[in-house]
């Protein structure tokens, strides 16, 4: 595995390696209808966004297991990261080194359970763009390795940890909401 150790945060596997692994293992990507059908059969949707974002709005019934956390360190680089992200009115985040332990605590120890992983935008493993009006496909140089997101990274982490029924929700919360599927949270209906 090819890993990188950033100046702020913990070491992680680079996205092209994750993308290759997820494709080789045949990660299943589903839309909202397929996700709901799987839930009726006992699957669970796991939201890997930050806990604060989950609290505001999430897919109805989804469990929260954030893959990232706000930057916890206090090194010089951590401070630079917090300052720069704060100046952009964003939260400085880093991978949560306890993600897998937290996942097991919230979801359980059954590594064969069907887990549908969701984040804000979903991402994709696809390297082409489909033109809706014509149905044609075109290669997209910006998608040499799909579209990297937290949910796809979480799928990789879970699969390499031995979870065998990991499914990815295409489009994430944003598409779920856009298509009128139920959400809940403190910011819903306000």
| 8 within domain boundaries | yes
| 82 within domain boundaries | no
Residue 21, domain extent: 3-68+96-184
Interval 35-66: pLDDT, tens: 999 999 999 999 999 999 999 999 999 999 99
Pairing of strands 63-64, 58-59: unpaired
* Six-digit token string for 7: 């100046």
Which of 72, 77, 55, 73 has its CA nearest to residue 64? 55
Exposed e or buried b per residue across 45-62, where buried means at least 16 C-beta atoms within 10 angstroms of its C-beta = bbbbbbeebbeebbbeeb
| 169 within domain boundaries | yes
pTM of the model: 0.87
| 53 within domain boundaries | yes
Which of 59, 55, 54, 20 has its CA nearest to residue 43? 59
| 61 within domain boundaries | yes
Residues of the chain with pLDDT under 50: none
| 79 within domain boundaries | no
Give the pLDDT of residue 190: 57
| 78 within domain boundaries | no
**CATH number for 149:** 3.40.250.10
Give the pLDDT of residue 2: 85
| 9 within domain boundaries | yes
Indicate the number of domains in the chain: 1
């Amino acid at each position: 595995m090819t890993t990188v150790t950033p100046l702020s945060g913990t070491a992680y596997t680079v996205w092209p390696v994750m993308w290759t692994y997820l494709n080789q293992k045949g990660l299943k990507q589903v839309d909202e209808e397929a996700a709901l059908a799987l839930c009726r059969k006992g699957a669970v949707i796991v939201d890997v966004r930050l806990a604060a974002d989950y609290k505001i709005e999430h897919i109805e019934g989804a469990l929260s297991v954030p893959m990232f956390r706000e930057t916890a360190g206090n090194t010089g680089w951590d401070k630079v990261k917090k300052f720069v992200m704060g100046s952009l009115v964003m939260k400085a985040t880093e991978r949560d080194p306890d993600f897998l332990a937290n996942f097991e605590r919230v979801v359980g120890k059954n590594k064969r359970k069907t887990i549908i992983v969701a984040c804000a935008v979903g991402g994709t493993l696809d390297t082409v763009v489909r033109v809706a009006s014509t149905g044609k496909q075109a290669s997209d140089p910006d998608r040499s390795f799909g579209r990297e997101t937290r949910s796809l990274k979480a799928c990789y982490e879970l699969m390499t940890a031995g979870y065998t029924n990991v499914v990815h929700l295409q489009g994430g919360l944003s598409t779920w909401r856009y298509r009128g599927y139920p959400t809940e949270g403190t910011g819903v209906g306000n």
